[in-house]
Structure 1
Amino acid sequence: MEPDLIIRCFSNPHFGTLMDVGIRDGKIIYLQEHLPGNPNALSAGQLIEANGRVLLPGLIEPHIHLDKAFLLNLMTKDAFSIEQAIASTLELKHSFTSTDIETRSIQVIQQAIANGVTHMRCHVEIDPIVGLIGFEVMLALKERYFNQITLQIVAFPQEGIAKQPGTEELLIQALQLGADVVGGITYQDADLQAHLSTVFNLAKTFNKSIDLHVDFSDDPSMLAILSIIRMTHAYEMQGRVSVGHLTSLGSLPYEEAQVICTAIAEAGIHVMSLPATDLYLNGRGDDHRHRRGLTPVPLLLEQGANVIYGSNNIQNPFTPFGTADPLDTGMLLAHTTYMGSKQDVVTLIEMATTRAAKALELENYGLYIGADADLVLFESTNLRSAFYERVPRRYVWKRGQLVASTVKQTTFYNEQVSS
């Protein structure tokens, strides 16, 4: 069977040689070493000469809030703490409309697609204030962009569950209507165990994964993660629980943190570092030697935990920054966790691809025969330069169909120097 598309002579960190890949009906059907002048080489309806450029599975954005993106210009004052960011968003949320949420979400989605993102997990606010308005927008966008990007929707109770009566009923409605993941937040409700019990019970009832906002603080006594580890085992949810932030863990002494990191790995809990937000809001109470406010990424990796990274927010009270490019987030994490070696770059790329796919429980993802042809070709023949320079994504494919292409052009105007 002949492919519809061949990408010839690409490089990838997990292959020791240049490779060719063939695609048909949205699937990878051929993957072989590139042999110049090979008389048995496949032909195709379309041929892309990669010329040694880096080809990766589509990038993954595993943690983002589309409904809260691009709120900077609507804010009445800046936010400088987690509490202020939550309060500012709560104020703005009263004016959210379907059209407003859709416009801001599409802006992020289109940026992400151009940056090579083929899968995205988005948390959407669900509470009596906004009801299911944002959730309904996400369902529509999931269908609208189905052929360009895969959206996973997390039903997220930002304001707490018990704290906002009626939220649990709305979460149930969202799950009945098609939410993919049950969300939770450990620092909003006074009764942590009741909050987590609600989340885990909903996940079991609807057979959904769990994605929690956890221990977003630099207070080392804030350790909801210990209850989450216990409940993950009790509910037999190993491999189906993700936690975002987890920054309190970074303030613990090494030996104590090491024990918890090992337990996280043993429970199969996926840790999502959100450095753009965590670095911006944490450590502000320190008057010297400011803490970085991150979960201890290298230690978690050493203990075998699956650690990935996400943008979290794009230009809003929690994070005034953001470009919807996962590699911008990865580069920030690399700087602040001392991950600058040759192997570190491979790990950081995996955190935005195969490691993230594991956390999102994606099927048919990757660069192998039978996988969906969700691919991105970088304008670089070197993985380190592709990552460090966040080079243009020359082509982005979703199920074998071209969905974005970016070309960067620079013109230099030099003065003529007479001899």
Structure 2
Amino acid sequence: MWDVRITNARLQGRSGLFAIGVQDGLIASVLPQGQSPEADAARTLYDAGGGMLLPGLIEPHIHLEKALLLSRMEEDAASLKDAIRMTAAMKYGFTRADMAARSLYVIREAVKNGVTHMRCHAEVDPILGLSAFETMMELKEKVCDVLDLQVVVFPQEGIFQSPGTAELMEEALRIGGDVVGGITYQDPSLEDHLDVVFRLAEKYGKPIDFHADFSDRSEDAAILDIADRTIAAGMQGLVAAGHVTSLGSMERKRAETAARRIGEADLQIMTLPATDLFINGRGDRERPRRGLTPVKLLQEHGVNVVIGVNNVRNPFTPFGKADPLETAWLLAVTAYMGGDEDAKQLIHMLTGGAAKALGIQQYGLEPGAVADMVLFPEVSERAILLGKPEQRTVWKRGRMTAETKLQTRMDHIVLH
């Protein structure tokens, strides 16, 4: 007897309807509907009604402790420097309880929207000390039944520009940080910054996740230094970089050369369109640049590109509701990804591609995978992307963690 059996579900890349059996938190059986033996008895039976079942969505890049700050802002940010400056000033007023409350709100929204894995960047610096990091580590334990949370030790204010940060980063990694963070545009010496980040990654055996080349200046190419360091350290596949928007401003041949090098280093690129589109291109009086990393070009060179929400309602991004589908839809519009195959690729970027970027094991909808799933009342990836349906059912390790149902009444409206 299965713990859970989901019937009449559509699956990616397969025709027809399927029944999925879950046992002990793992997917135990995936068979075409009607071919399951034993009439598949289950303690809990769920009829998918012909909707599409996906692996749980993955949020690969988000900032929790600085979410939901709009009510504290006296002005709107007009540049990246403004956003960093304004947020740094507000950080002096952050408390552990305040950071935990705002973070939990975002996590609840993400889980409701189908997210089962998340990587957050916790800021470590002399302003906050380890308070943001320790708050995220506490949340990691608190929410583990509904969400797997990776915590990046992130030096937002720079390592050398903010003395004492390197020591705080090392302490955070010593007590359990999951990923070494870096930010290429906050220190005067990129080489020194990379030295610290790669040294810490080697010492503690951790992957790396950079904020890199967040600009529309074609001369910014720290990603190439990161690629060279990654190859030299033998860390191919273990290094990610968010933003990398300057690549979108490069002349085509140079961008192609950079994309090849990024592919050789197997860097995981995280495009963050809500923030990147909002911040970049502001200095252009004519023919403003889009400010996105060139997603299709990178993918043509074999680069794993994934999609992150990044920020939720703060100086960097005054939008968002922690819904990866909302962000994927925005990327579809702005990166010319409107076709059926594009939709399949975008959904992959939220699922299997993001799992690769975060090093998540036993992921997917195959026997032996962890039963992290989200069901949509749609029949295809394109329908899911275009409709962004609020109605979703979410399972974490085979246990239902969220279900949103909608009812629309039109009793007094006459349709002609």
TM-score calculated relative to the size of structure 1? 0.97
Q: What residue in structure 2 maps to residue 11 of structure 1?
A: 10
Q: What residue in structure 1 maps to residue 62 of structure 2?
A: 64
The code of the aligned residue for 1:108 comes to: V
The code of the aligned residue for 2:19 comes to: D
The code of the aligned residue for 2:159 comes to: I
Deviation at 1:389, TM superposition (A): 1.1
Q: In the superposition, relative to structure 1, how do residues 58 and 39 fare at CA in structure 2: closer, same or farther (>3 Å)?
A: closer
CA offsets 1:337-372 (integer angstroms, 9 cap, x no match): 110111111100000000000000001111111111
- Alpha-carbon distance between aligned partners in 1 of 2:251 and 2:42, rounded to the nearest angstrom: 58
Q: What residue in structure 2 maps to residue 26 of structure 1?
A: 25
- Alpha-carbon distance between aligned partners in 1 of 2:97 and 2:38, rounded to the nearest angstrom: 54
Deviation at 1:46, TM superposition (A): 1.1
Q: What residue in structure 2 maps to residue 288 of structure 1?
A: 286
Question: Which residues in structure 2 correspond to 1:119-134 (within 5 Å)?
Answer: 119-134=117-132
Q: What residue in structure 2 maps to residue 323 of structure 1?
A: 321
Gaps of 5+ in 2: none
CA offsets 1:254-303 (integer angstroms, 9 cap, x no match): 11101111111111100000000000000011112111100000100111
Q: What residue in structure 2 maps to residue 336 of structure 1?
A: 334
Q: What residue in structure 1 maps to residue 393 of structure 2?
A: 395
Deviation at 1:40, TM superposition (A): 4.2
CA offsets 1:163-200 (integer angstroms, 9 cap, x no match): 11110000011001111000000000000000011001
Question: Which residues in structure 2 correspond to 1:148-167 (within 5 Å)?
Answer: 148-167=146-165
* Kept after mapping to 2: 8 A contact 1:379/1:392: no
Deviation at 1:392, TM superposition (A): 2.5
Of residues 365, 372, 375, the one that matches 1:374 is 372
- Alpha-carbon distance between aligned partners in 2 of 1:385 and 1:413, rounded to the nearest angstrom: 27
Of residues 221, 231, 234, the one that matches 2:232 is 234
The code of the aligned residue for 2:345 comes to: T
Query: After the TM superposition, which parts of structure 1 deviate over 4 Å for at least 4 consecutive aligned residues?
Result: none
Question: Which residues in structure 2 correspond to 1:16-415 (within 5 Å)?
Answer: 16-35=15-34, 40-415=38-413
* Kept after mapping to 1: 8 A contact 2:96/2:132: yes
- Alpha-carbon distance between aligned partners in 1 of 2:320 and 2:344, rounded to the nearest angstrom: 23
CA offsets 1:116-143 (integer angstroms, 9 cap, x no match): 0000000011001100001111011000
The code of the aligned residue for 1:22 comes to: G
CA offsets 1:92-113 (integer angstroms, 9 cap, x no match): 0111110110111011000000
- Alpha-carbon distance between aligned partners in 1 of 2:76 and 2:270, rounded to the nearest angstrom: 26
- Alpha-carbon distance between aligned partners in 1 of 2:414 and 2:386, rounded to the nearest angstrom: 33
* Kept after mapping to 2: 8 A contact 1:265/1:303: yes
- Alpha-carbon distance between aligned partners in 2 of 1:405 and 1:367, rounded to the nearest angstrom: 19
Q: How many residues align?
A: 416
* Kept after mapping to 2: 8 A contact 1:308/1:356: yes
* Kept after mapping to 2: 8 A contact 1:26/1:400: yes
Secondary structure in structure 2 of the residue aligned to 1:372: coil
Deviation at 1:80, TM superposition (A): 1.1
- Alpha-carbon distance between aligned partners in 2 of 1:189 and 1:219, rounded to the nearest angstrom: 17
The code of the aligned residue for 2:247 comes to: L
The code of the aligned residue for 1:180 comes to: D
- Alpha-carbon distance between aligned partners in 2 of 1:350 and 1:95, rounded to the nearest angstrom: 39
Gaps of 5+ in 1: none
Q: In the superposition, relative to structure 1, how do residues 59 and 393 fare at CA in structure 2: closer, same or farther (>3 Å)?
A: farther
Deviation at 1:314, TM superposition (A): 0.2
The code of the aligned residue for 1:256 comes to: R
Deviation at 1:236, TM superposition (A): 0.6
Deviation at 1:317, TM superposition (A): 0.4
Aligned-residue CA RMSD in angstroms? 1.3
- Alpha-carbon distance between aligned partners in 2 of 1:319 and 1:118, rounded to the nearest angstrom: 23
- Alpha-carbon distance between aligned partners in 1 of 2:162 and 2:328, rounded to the nearest angstrom: 35
Deviation at 1:39, TM superposition (A): 5.8
* Kept after mapping to 1: 8 A contact 2:57/2:115: yes
Secondary structure in structure 2 of the residue aligned to 1:67: coil
Deviation at 1:393, TM superposition (A): 4.2
Secondary structure in structure 2 of the residue aligned to 1:138: helix
Q: In the superposition, relative to structure 1, how do residues 27 and 393 fare at CA in structure 2: closer, same or farther (>3 Å)?
A: farther
